[in-house]
Amino acid sequence: MTEASLHPALADPLAALGRRLFHGAGELHGLRRLSGGASQETWAFSFHTPKGLRPLILRRKPHDRQSELAAGLETEAVLLKLAAEMGARVPPVFYVLTPEDGCGTGFIMDRLEGETIPRKILRDAEFAQARQVLARDCGEALSLIHRIDTARLPRTLRAAPGSVRLAELERTYATINRPNPVFALALRWLAANRPPDPAHLALVHGDFRHGNLMIGPDGLVGVLDWELAHLGDPMEDLGWICVPSWRFGGIDKPVGGFGERRQLFAAYEAAGGAPVDPFRVRFWEVFGALQWGLMCAGMAEVYRSGTDGSVERAMIARRASEVEIDLLDYIAPLVHEADDAG
Amino acid sequence: MQDDPRAAEILPAIATFLRETVTTDHSAHTLFQARVAANACDLAAREAQLAPASDAAELERLEALLGRSGTLAELNAELAARIADGSLTLETPELKAHLWATSMAKLAVDQPSYASYRRALKRLG
């Protein structure tokens, strides 16, 4: 079966684009939809060029579907280019779509080789070497991202430091309308412990965690999915990668289940980042845990309303309780010397 | 009190999946969903087995904390509201123990293999 017969609405204009970009060559190969991304589509394909097969990824928005919090694909393409200029490991942008291409809005980037599935990255022998250096790689990547000159960032990027993010989280809790004593306690803690907004906001990736980090046998290959990028407190990114929900069983390794906070912080500072304030990071860890907990709790209504009545959706809703335990570990610990202080 | 959706609300979705998806769609995604459905059956069994006793214990603690009787849903809503307005805090006797006991009872049903839960079990002895 040809690509065109499977996905004609995209395959035809994409094939035409390939022929145009490679002057008659550039035949389209292996177009397939990848999972993930509700508001945006991600597709894998290759162009057959005179130099061989070029594996690519298309990120596009077919219609006018965009979350008000999403940065927008044109913005994502700009951020990827700026991050690449800083020397951060990101997929190179190959082409930005124009309306004449007829493929929707978005961009095409090179397809990196690597793995994003946490359990493989944390368990498989193939990634044993990577696990040794990943906390360092993450610290370095974030340091470079956070030092991007904000004067060069798209004006459309929203500003959302801690004060704004916490107000959003409080609204989310109220909207979900499922009274939860532990979540209420966490919101109190966050309000009482929120550090002042930084004087200068930085580019924050906004979703720097497993699933969005392409990992190879030697470490970090690329930082993906910039959909939630915004201007904010750079420590938000350091906190989010340490949230217990992203440790996948490796709870004694706070950084993504593979590393220590001190490795992350040291690499961040060594790559030119501002000195890390562990208390600020801790605020963002608690914030991130609650953010994920509310995301899970909100799935109960998605399930009940029939918007998505799948068993999988129901089971995600029932993961909110995992976050309760993690939040209590932070704000009402059973032992005072936390085991994961690293 | 267990979170929504409860087992009784999840079971019909499992039945629909078995009748309509498993019989017609043999893709890798169906295999993945089948594993999720099996986990959901386990969860439903744990809920039927554990929730009656843990709900009763939780209700008793809530009535002692709030000094009144009511349903689990009512008292949990009141507890959340009083934590939110600051009238109950971690200084309140028994609040911390109550929150831990309640969340642990949820995890015993939802995800008894969750690493933070296993560690807390050991700490609680």
Question: In the numeric block, which tokens belong to residue A156?
Answer: 């459309």
Is A105 in a helix, a strand, or coil?
strand
Provide the domain limits for residue A259: 118-331
Verify whether the Cβ–Cβ distance B13 to A182 is below 8 Å. no
Domain C-terminal end among A64, A83, A110: A110
Residue A275: burial class (beta carbons within 10 Å; 0-12, 13-18, 19+): exposed
Is A287 inside any structural domain?
A: yes
Contacts A335 to B, Cβ<8 Å:
123
Question: In the numeric block, which tokens belong to residue B56?
Answer: 């009763």
Same domain? For A136 and A236 the reply is yes
Domain C-terminal end among A72, A91, A110: A110
> Model confidence over A108-145: pLDDT tens digits?
999 999 999 999 999 999 999 999 999 999 999 999 99
Same domain? For A128 and A228 the reply is yes
CB-CB: which of B13, B106, B123 is closest to A314?
B13
Peptide bond preceding A234 in cis form (omega within 30 of 0): no
Per-residue pLDDT at A223 exceeds 80: yes
Domain C-terminal end among A110, A145, A166: A110
CB-CB: which of B40, B79, B102 is closest to A311?
B40
ipTM of the complex: 0.97
- Identify from A176, A318, A326, A329 which residue to disrupt to test chain B contact, counting B C-beta atoms within 10 A and taking the largest count: A318
pLDDT at B29: 86
Cβ-contact A57, A42 below 8 angstroms: yes
Q: At what angle do helices B95-110 and A181-193 cross, to 10 degrees?
A: 120
Same domain? For A105 and A122 the reply is no
pLDDT (average), residues B66-78: 97
Of residues A61 and B84, more confidence is placed in B84
Is A339 inside any structural domain?
A: no
Q: Touching check for B5 and chain A: CB below 8 Å?
A: yes
Q: At what angle do helices A181-193 and B72-84 cross, to 10 degrees?
A: 10
* CA–CA separation, A70 and A226 (whole Å): 9
Same domain? For A134 and A19 the reply is no
CB-CB: which of B17, B103, B119 is closest to A324?
B103
Look up the CATH number of the domain holding residue A79.
3.30.200.20
Please name the residues in contact with A77: beta carbons below 8 A apart, sequence gap of 6 or more.
A93, A96, A106, A107
Same domain? For A238 and A323 the reply is yes
Same domain? For A81 and A227 the reply is no
> Model confidence over A291-312: pLDDT tens digits?
999 999 999 999 999 888 999 9
Verify whether the Cβ–Cβ distance A309 to B14 is below 8 Å. no
Contacts B46 to A, Cβ<8 Å:
none
**What is the distance of C-alpha A62 from the center of its chain?**
21
Is A340 inside any structural domain?
A: no
Is A253 inside any structural domain?
A: yes
* CA–CA separation, B42 and A93 (whole Å): 45
Same domain? For A102 and A134 the reply is no
Cβ-contact A97, A104 below 8 angstroms: yes
**Alpha helices (H) along B2-88:** 7-16, 28-66, 72-84
Same domain? For A17 and A103 the reply is yes
Of residues A314 and A71, more confidence is placed in A314
**Number of folded domains in chain A?**
2
Look up the CATH number of the domain holding residue A165.
3.90.1200.10
Looking at residue A175, its amino acid is: T
pLDDT at A342: 46
